[in-house]
Amino acid sequence: MMKFILKFLQRQPTCPNCDQKLPTKPIRKQACPHCGKFIFARNGALVTHDEAMIIDWLARLEIFGIARKDFDIYMSELSKQFGSQASVTDTLWRILNQLVRRSARDAHMLEQVYREMAGLASSEGRDPTAFLIEAERIRGRRLNISATSPERIALGDDELKYVRQLRKNGNLEKAEELLLKAYPSPAVLDELRKIASARAKIARKNKDWQAVVQHLEGYTDYATQWWDYCLQTVNQEPPLHTESDLKLLREARARLAGSVDT
């Protein structure tokens, strides 16, 4: 009996995508050596990308009273309507849209639903701004701050991930546009710092020393402007330029001084 239990416990792990045996049990996201698809670990079990996404989102939707059985019902209803298997994202959008209707009388809930919509849009690589503005509007009305357009929006982890992806894809303008609309938390400022750094490097390649100084000093000015805000809100100073960016700034200033002399 004991032997049997041990054998059961030591059962070789299999890929949740292709069902083939794995040499070791992955403890985090890993590609399957057989099918190449990603394997995720959640609560000690190996699951597919879709299943991991469902588990992660159900944890977020729990406060709205959405459980696994609700998700499954929404998914099968949507699949029937589509005439083909609905995706996890389609199902999540359907649920969030239903929650907007259901939360119409509860401003606090409604604000949270819009923030989750921003998170879902961001995770799909789509601009979350409209949802974030709506969330701030509702918050403003709820707290009697303002009834019109909000001054700034709050970026969460999903939105920051989206911005990071924009920057990595070289879409610096769009990333910056969103960051400048956001509350200048240290995380937001750090992204702006990286954009300034990327722009300074491009300017150096073009030997545009004036632009190098402008980009790097531009960030310093913005960070200085929000220094007290960061200390007051999260008791953390805004991130500073890296050593290599400071070196580049000194070089650019020296070059400019040199060109003035000649």
- DSSP characters for 65-109? T--HHHHHHHHHHHHHHHTSPPPHHHHHHHHHHHHHHHTTT-HHH
* Shortest spacing between CB 48 and Zn ion, in angstroms: 9
* 11 contact partners, CB below 8 Å, separation of at least 6: none
**Can you tell me the distance from the alpha carbon of 154 to that of 4, in angstroms, rounded to the nearest whole number?**
54
The residue count for binding Zn ion (CB under 5 A) is: 6
Amino acid at position 156, single letter? G
Q: Which stretch binds Zn ion (CB under 5 A): 4-12, 17-25, 53-61, 74-82?
A: 17-25
**Interacting positions 23-62 with Zn ion (CB under 5 A):** 32, 34-35
Burial of 161 (0-12, 13-18, 19+ CB in 10 A): middle
* Shortest spacing between CB 8 and Zn ion, in angstroms: 22
User: Could you tell me if residue 229 is left (phi over 0), alpha (psi between -120 and 50 degrees) or otherwise beta?
Assistant: alpha
Amino acid at position 170, single letter? G
* Out of 6, 18, 45, 246, the residue judged to bind Zn ion by CB under 5 A: 18
**Looking at beta carbons only, is 32 or 189 nearer to Zn ion?**
32
**Can you tell me the distance from the alpha carbon of 260 to that of 262, in angstroms, rounded to the nearest whole number?**
6
Site string for Zn ion, 56-95 (x = CB under 5 A): ----------------------------------------
Q: Which stretch binds Zn ion (CB under 5 A): 15-23, 96-104, 198-206, 216-224?
A: 15-23
* Shortest spacing between CB 56 and Zn ion, in angstroms: 21
Q: Which stretch binds Zn ion (CB under 5 A): 16-24, 90-98, 114-122, 188-196?
A: 16-24
Site residues for Zn ion per CB under 5 A: 15, 17-18, 32, 34-35
